[in-house]
Structure 1
Amino acid sequence: MLTFLLQRYYAPLAAKGVVSHWKVYYQDESRFGLMTVLRRAITLAGIKPVGAYQHRFIYRYCYGLVEPLTGDHFFITAPQVNTLYFEYMLEEFSRHQPQVFKFIFVDKAGYHRAKALQVPQNIRLVYLPSSNPELNPVERLWGDMKNKVAFHNFSHEQELEAWITNTAKSYGQRQIASLTGYPYILEAISKITTSIE
């Protein structure tokens, strides 16, 4: 399928000099809130762990894109998930390495498929099968971030947003590639690259 998409969408822009090469990304959003995230804690046998907990329904969302081959990544924090913010993220991401044509694998959330959605010319959305989050390697990154936020109690949403931004920025390309580089994805990209060359 990717070979067809390359011929159909990438090749014409490459022939015009609009883009010079292509990459495959995976995208997803994750919710982080003021409500304390709980995880298991190691204690002595029979001793229940005690810690501060808050029950506040205020959230921020992290839009993330990762490229499993090299670990290239891009994050934006927003107060909601909807078509408007998704389109804004795509516009910003199109400016990230603008010479690269980006195939982005996404789930079938309504705002990913909205008729009003405007997709930049150097981006093509590819939809993953429904109800298969295990196919999206970004989920492993979210799991790692959720482990890091466990037991944190943020006093307000600005502090939460700063934590999301700083934590996302703390991931290096090697770490992203290690978390998201599923063997079957790397093998597929390698085979297509070799066949084209």
Structure 2
Amino acid sequence: MATAPDLLVDPVVLREQVRDTYRQVAADPSRRFHFSTGRDLARRLGYADDVVAALPDRAVESFAGVADPCALRALSAGERVVDVGSGAGFDSFLAARQVGPQGRVVGVDMTPEMVDKATATAAELGLAQVEFRLGLAEDLPVEDGWADVVISNGVLNLCADKGAVLSEIRRVLRPGGWLQFADIANGRPVPEGALRDIDLWTG
């Protein structure tokens, strides 16, 4: 795990800036952000139209992912899934559909407004196999070796200490479990000054 001096930006400051942005996404998803949200984004990213259409607006409107973490491998019935950075629950709800009533999905997010919104939507949808917990990607509120699969969508790039996040994911996965994540990667070198500019991390 990286120590604080090794990190490019202060993880606490970055976390607060990210939390503030996604608090707004939860409360007012129709406003303009520097990223896309909602049904149109899900369609452009290749999610199945019929699956997304089956969800109510409140389950989709705050979605702000970058790709479908289950596009290359569908989840199996009965699997236990942790969704790291679950937001308002969009990918968790789709995961619940795949794992079925015998499976379990635990969504973890650091923004209380997102957790509250996701929890209310799960109740509205009658998804008893889905639970949302307030927590950090670097300190997941999940027991050791519980998950068959960990999914994440556009979250690792927003974490300053990726080593800590990956260590936590490994901890909660059972031996032989799967990590399926979608994220943004930059194939070109980034200047040192830009790497340490926290506004560029969030913007």
TM-score, structure 2 length as denominator?
A: 0.28
Q: Which has the higher strand share?
A: 1
Bigger relative contact order, structure 1 or 2 (CA pairs below 8 A, ≥6 apart)? 1
User: Which is higher, the Rg of structure 1 or of structure 2?
Assistant: 1
TM-score, structure 1 length as denominator?
A: 0.28
